[in-house]
Amino acid sequence: MRKAMLPFLLAAAASADTRKLTNPCLSAPFAALPFCNASLTIDQRSRDAVGRMSLTEKIDALGTEQGPTPSLGLGKYDWWSEATSGVANGAHGADGFHTHFAYPVTTGMAFNRSLWRVTGEAIGREARALMNAGKAYSTLWTPVVNLARDPRWGRNVEVPGEDPFLTGEYASSFISGLQNKQGGFLQASACCKHFVANELEKTTQLDGEEYDRRHDNAQVTERDLLDSYLPPFEACVRAGVSGLMCSYNSLNGVPACASKELLDTAKSWGFDGYVTSDCDADRNVYNTHKYAATRAEAVCDCVRDVLTAGTDVDCGEFVTRHASKALAEGLVDEALIDERLVNLFKVRLRLGHFDLSFDNKKPRGPLDMIPESVVCSKAHVQTSYEGVAQSATLYKNDGALPLRRVETLLVSGPTANISQVLASYYGPRDVCGGAYPGLVDAVREAGRVDVVYEQDLDRAVAAASTVDAVVLALGTDLNYAREGRDAPSIRLPADQLRLVEEVAAAARKPITVVLLTATPLDITALKANDKVGAIAHLGQPSVAVVGFSDLLYGRRSFAGRAVQTVYPAAYEDAISIADFNMRPGPSVFARPDCAMKNVSRCPRGVNPGRTYRFYEGKAVVPFGFGLSYTTFRYALRVVGATSFVVDVTNTGSMASDDVVLLFLVPPNAGADGVALKNLVAFDRVHVGVNATVSVALSVPSTVFAKKGAYRVEAGVRGDSRVGFDAATPQWWPTQLFFSEQAILGDDRIRRYNNRIFELHRAASSVVDEDWDPSNPSLQSACEASPARCGDEYSFVAASANDLDSSVYRISKQNAEAAHKIAEAEHKQLVASLTSAERDKREHYKRRAARLAKSPAHARRKSQPKTRKDEKIFPDGQDSVNVAGLGAEEHLAAIHADQFHRLLRADSFDDFQDM
């Protein structure tokens, strides 16, 4: 039968060449075959498809550039498409004009999950539209979720920052938008890369030592792996990403693409997708890592290793070229190849390649109805501008910004016109409209400002004294750092520093410096220069830089926050980029500033700690820092065991967004490899003048696993702090009534929680007025002196506006007495509720009562950890999706166990007994 069908099959595959994708299941004879039967499971359909392929077709399908598959009526398919900043042009994208978005190093600074999701959704939507038009494929190799763990890494431009929690949240939001499941199918496939510890491109040190990603054997401690390098990838998997890319490097001696342990780790998180190698990474297992035992057997052994490990498709020709020999030698069998291909076909089925029409005129689902006209739509272009407007970060402002009453303006500097150079880097070369606006266009103010653009130093100095304002564009471009090339230095180039000094000296008033760079350069000299009135950091926005205009002229306020620590220049002399240790300590690598060619004579470096979490020095610009045109006051309140509310009050004269960052300072912070602090929650809100917005933030209970004194800080400078002892959290001042506040969000309850705090503090004795969490003597009395503990407990607390915390010790008797007073006041409060508030309270009491009787509740009591999207309230079908709740109800939902106990209790004593 196959021979009789072959001419027809070849004709069908040939006809598909006019479009990049066609669905063979729309016509005979394939429509009647099981892999086209939508009533079967994806696994059944995928296995049926693979079972119909010839061995030659199977081997060919192990490469990313898969040729036609006549037995399935499929044309060729390329798994490799790029879309970090928009759908790319060329061989790994699609022809035509596409929307170009700012790079992640820029948009990460927005700390806005909605922006990240909408950006991903727009990119995925354009990809699907181009696929429907027959111009593109739909497996996009984005996002990059490695950490900006070293300021010199060449690919910092592609990542949202240095923090693993931030990077994971970015990835989750971006993936949700890009894949955007509709009608049962993924809009596009996202692929998180590069798995794992890949943050090195190519560096040559002064002593002649060269390190590059294809030879690198990243030595990573288990501690660093678990709390720094792996979490962003786990977040990808939890978000449902459909692809992973294994990296070039080895990890502790095992090439990533040949590491079954590593790829099985992804499966343990629930990964259900395909794994691709980075391009030629499978070949590097053989030729650079030399992983096989002997050269004679190396080629086939490496084919076996990557396939057995779980790498499904090879970006390159190594596996497809040598798989037949590996089969002949019995190192692999056809069943192993089948398993790899099943994963690939399952992803294509999830994309609708065997169910949809890719035809707007004959749609078989909502994704078919996405027209090519959405590409470069006004909404998408505006989203790209929004990425810059929300992300630009103000490092310094002595009143130079916003610009007022400016008619003439000088623009100079090496990065003022780099948009076109940047555009084609993992994004569209042909951008919407065909123009490549740069900083000059952003400052023109729609033609209302006469801009003098001058790159000659002498003429720029002369012009500076004649204009109303000066904007200098400094930084780096892709010639400085990119894939395959690490930045040579983090020092501000001497010619740029000279430009600033001479132009600023000639200008009528302090100038504005705009940094366009993915490499965080040491700007100490700029901060100290009184003639530099403002410094704004934009990352690498490319053509989206025009979104900066609203900030420059004060129609909107800056609200971005730094996502990379800016280190002093001496940092690059202390530690090699090849040292992957996150924590401070001695390094096995030579100091990078050693120029002796006899490497053994070079002194070893000392790691000062990487990223804000471990860096022991003083940052030039700390992670999370960012100024605004207005001012804010923070008040941090505890509303549950792991839930907090930050009351953000705009005390300035301009409505503005604000990014609220919540950091956790653990016990013994900075000692024995313990992080100095960790970002555990964040949100972005808009706050009107004189208005207060309450920002609800929740953190997983697992972050409090270690006993001892913790401090929670809101803001980079600890704008508001609270602390407590994890050994005795039951005496946390506001714990018992958090759920009432979460539901009602009432000022009376806010005042009431403060009252509880006052009662506790009044009934306590002060142990230390200036709490130092690193002092072990201030741990719980019960933990420090079990024999003398008795009924004493300790807690740490601070008033909302204090920067210093104090440790208090309270007896159980006094604590109970305080709660009896609180209980009486609570009853008075409940009696004063309005009818609507009482109805709402009773509604949740009924929910809580049903929860207490449910089998699911019993399971949760034994496994209290919950996710934000977990259904934990019985309602209707015994479920309420927390994602659908408001922020205040969400707080109550994630602490369902305590919540239902409180609302069912008639008194504090009843609560304790439950």
Q: Give the span between the Cα atoms of 294 and 83, in whole angstroms.
A: 39
> Is the preceding omega at residue 285 within 30 degrees of 0, hence cis?
no
In the DSSP assignment, the letter for residue 83 is: -
- Which strand ranges, in their side-by-side order, compose the sheet holding 765-768? 765-768, 806-811, 792-797
Q: Count other C-beta atoms under 10 Å from residue 754's C-beta.
A: 16
* Beta strand 393-397 pairing with 532-539: antiparallel
3-state SS, 780-823, equals CHHHHCHHHCCCEEEEEECCCCCCCCEEEEEEHHHHHHHHHHHH
**Quick check: helix, strand or coil at residue 450?**
strand
Residues 6+ apart with CB under 8 A from 555: none
Q: Give the span between the Cα atoms of 706 and 694, in whole angstroms.
A: 29
| Helix ranges restricted to H, 353-426 | 378-389, 419-423
Q: Is the backbone of residue 667 left (phi > 0), alpha (psi -120 to 50) or beta?
A: beta
* Beta strand 189-195 pairing with 210-212: unpaired
Q: Give the span between the Cα atoms of 539 and 148, in whole angstroms.
A: 13
Calculate Rg over the CA atoms of the chain: 30
DSSP class per residue in 412-448: ESTTTT-HHHHHTTTS-SSBGGG----HHHHHSTTTT
Q: Count other C-beta atoms under 10 Å from residue 297's C-beta.
A: 13
Q: Give the span between the Cα atoms of 764 and 274, in whole angstroms.
A: 58
- CA–centroid distance for 546 within its chain: 24
Sign of CA dihedral 289, 293, 299, 304: negative
Closest CA to 567 of 151, 5, 35: 151
747 tagged catalytic: no
Residues written for the chain:
914
DSSP class per residue in 852-904: HHSHHHHHHHHS----TT-B-S--TTT--BGGGS-HHHHHHHTTHHHHHHHHH
* Buried residues in 786-818 as b, exposed as e (16+ CB within 10 A): eeeeeebbbbbbbbbeeeebbbbbbeeebbeeb
Choice among 163, 224, 278, 441 that is catalytic:
278
Q: Give the span between the Cα atoms of 91 and 163, in whole angstroms.
A: 33
**Quick check: helix, strand or coil at residue 131?**
helix
Q: Give the span between the Cα atoms of 372 and 97, in whole angstroms.
A: 11
Just list the catalytic residues.
278
